[in-house]
Structure formats: structure tokens, C-alpha cells
Amino acid sequence: MKRIAVVTSGGDVPGLNAAIRAVTRSALAYGVQVIGVHRGYEGLIAGEFTEMTSRDVGGILRKGGTILGTSRSERFMTAEGRRMAKERLEQAGIEGLVVIGGNGTLAGAYQLYKLGVPLVGVPKTIDNDQYGTDTAIGVDTALNTIAEAVGRVKDTASSHRRAFLIEVMGRRCGYLALASGIICGAEMVLIPERPASPDDVARRIIEASHIGKAHCIIIVAEGWPPGTRALKEHLLTNHVDEGFDVREVVLGHVQRGGTPTAFDRLLATRMGVRAVESLLDGSGIGHMVGLHGGQLSLVPLEVATSQQKPLSAEMLRIAEMLCR
């Protein structure tokens, strides 16, 4: 291969720029030209391509976001959209593609690969819901951001003897809530994978108050039904006199920005280089770069996109014991 492209698609995460830099500079080191695709899959369909030089990726290791831009593309979900994307790549003489994305993006990449486009996937998502890898680019930074924010909320919670419902992202997956509950010493974690009723939460708040805690921190995954707002309303309507005063904090997109941690920079760099090397030698075509026990591996996209990643039984057990 003499000309490859790199695209970031789906929700952004800290560490994308480190991955773009690694892809660009490693490809250039092998004498391969690199094309940056702008605006994710939308830009792939529209042919928004520019050549990347080593200087174009200078000074971006520590920057959040993605210098290439991204999109959630409805059009790429259609066969027609993918056909147009393939045509654009062929017209531009692009022989291989590195796709940096989460599960929706990688599912799209698998379809594009089946159309005959040689490509390698790199997993990124703060949700840590990508099957076939222990973790993905962005998870560690998001967790650190959550830990910092929850620590601040805990300070004010203790001063006022309040309960706080802190909602974290994760879509339908409870990983971020589970992990942040453990690392922040939360009193309770609410995740879609484990049913709990608003009355269970009320009991936990009362219990925390009875054993003398000055705060009660409840981490709520955004995918937990019936949701943070409904839970707060239930507590304020039915249990207001029994325990703490309740407040709600939705961390939102704060979790998706910021400078990537050392872990994410290293992971993004290792995965980016491995993607290029395995694209050039052919071993990674139709695969996603995964991380297993600290080692990189190549997982067929067919497998990586075939199922939901289960939550760690060990972490569930730890949270069960310690988050109270």
C-alpha cells in the first residue's frame, strides 16, 4: 500500500488526536502517504479528504477532541452511503483505511470491509462497551474526569449532609458508573444491568444517615431506568423527611473532553501504530486492534461487532461489597 486514510467517527473521546498522530507518523515512517478524512463517515461519503504531513499532527498528543472532526452519520448506516464511501476512496486512490470508532462505527466499518475496502478498526469509547477489548481509547480519561468531579461534589455534600445523585454517561452500559462508584467510594451504584427500585435507593440513603455518614453519593448510569430525574422526584415526593436533602448532578459531555491521561495517550499510540503495521502487512485487514491483559491483539470485526460486552463479575462483586 502506498496511500492510506484515517477517519474518526461517532462520539469523540480524549486520545483521538494521539491515535491520529500515531497513524500518520507511523505510516509516513513506512513511506506511505496518509489522507485525513474530515467529519467522520459523513466526510467519507462526501470525499472530504486532505493529505496529512508530520507537521499537521505536531503538538496534538495532549489535545482533547479530534483534529479531523467527527459525526454520527445516518447515511453511512445505509448500503447506498457505504457504496458512495467506497467509491470516494477508490477515486482518491486510497488503498487502506484506519477507522477509529466505537461499536456503531466499527459495525459500519465491518460492512465497508465486506464491500471490499481493506481496513483496520481501532476502538474508542468512554463507555467501555466495545466487545473484544479490555478497554478502549477514552475510558481512562473519562474515569479520571468523573473521579475529580465526584470528589468535588462529595466535599459540598459532606458540608451540607446531603445525598447526591450523580449521573454519568455510558449509554446502555453500566461500566462507567460501576468503575466510578468503586474509585470514588460511592454509597450506591445504579446501573442498567442490575435492577433497583427508587425505594431501594431511599433505604440506602436512610441507612447512610443512620450509620453517621455526612453524605450519600449515588452514581447513576444514564441508562438506568427509570432515570435520575424520576428518581429524584420520587425521593423528594415520598421520602424527603426520612434522610438527607437530595440534589442531582448530570456530568454530561464534560466526561468526553479534556487532555487525555498518560494511559490513554499510550494506548492510542500503541493501537494507532499497530493498526498501520497490520494494515500494511495485511494481518489486520477486517480486524479491530484489541487490548487483552496489556497486550495488543487483532480481533476479527465479525467477532468484535457480534455481541454486547458483559460487565466484569469481579467489579460487580467489589461494588456490591464496598459501595454502601
**Residues marked as catalytic:** 127
Q: In sequence order, which residues have a C-beta less than 8 Å from that of residue 148 and are 6 or more positions away?
A: none
Here's the x/- map for ligand F6P, 190-229, by CB under 6 A: it reads as --------------------------------x-------
- Contact segment (CB under 6 A) with ligand F6P among 59-67, 164-172, 186-194, 209-217 equals 164-172
Q: How far is the CB of 276 from ligand F6P (least distance, A)?
A: 25
Is 82 annotated to bind a ligand? Reply is: no
> Is residue 125 at the binding interface for ligand F6P, with CB under 6 A as the rule?
yes
C-alpha cell at 253: 459531555
* Residue 27: CB atoms within 10 Å: 28
321 is in an annotated binding site: no
Residue 17, marked binder? no
Q: Which of 43, 102, 118, 260 binds ligand F6P (CB under 6 A)?
A: 102
Residue 275, C-alpha cell as written in the block: 493498526
Judged by CB under 6 A, the chain residues 38 through 67 that form the site for ligand F6P are: none
**Which amino acid is it at 243?**
G
Distances in Å between the Cα of 40 and the Cα atoms of 111, 191, 228, 248 are 16, 30, 32, 34
Assess 101 for contact with ligand F6P (CB under 6 A): no
Cα–Cα nearest to 34, from 63, 62, 7, 70: 7
Confirm or reject binding of residue 170 to ligand F6P (CB under 6 A): yes
Taking the complex as a whole, the smallest distance from the CB of residue 253 to ligand F6P amounts, in Å, to 6
List, in sequence order, every residue forming a beta bridge with 291; answer none if it has no partner. 296
If one asks whether residue 171 binds ligand F6P (CB under 6 A), the answer comes out as yes
Determine the Cα–Cα distance for residues 45 and 132; give it in Å rounded to an integer.
Answer: 27
H or E element, residue 160: helix 139-160
Scan residues 236-265 and list those touching ligand F6P (CB under 6 A). Answer: 256
| 108 makes contact with ligand F6P (CB under 6 A) | no
Whole-angstrom Cα distance, residue 19 to residue 135? 15
Q: Is 125 annotated as a binding residue?
A: yes
Set of cell numbers at residue 297: 491483539
CA 104, 120, 310, 173 dihedral sign is negative
CB of 270 to ligand F6P, least distance (A): 22
- Give the footprint of ligand F6P on this chain (CB under 6 A): 11, 72, 102, 125-127, 169-171, 222, 256
Per the annotation, binding residues are 11, 21-25, 72-73, 102-105, 125-127, 154, 162, 169-171, 185-187, 213-215, 222, 247, 253-256
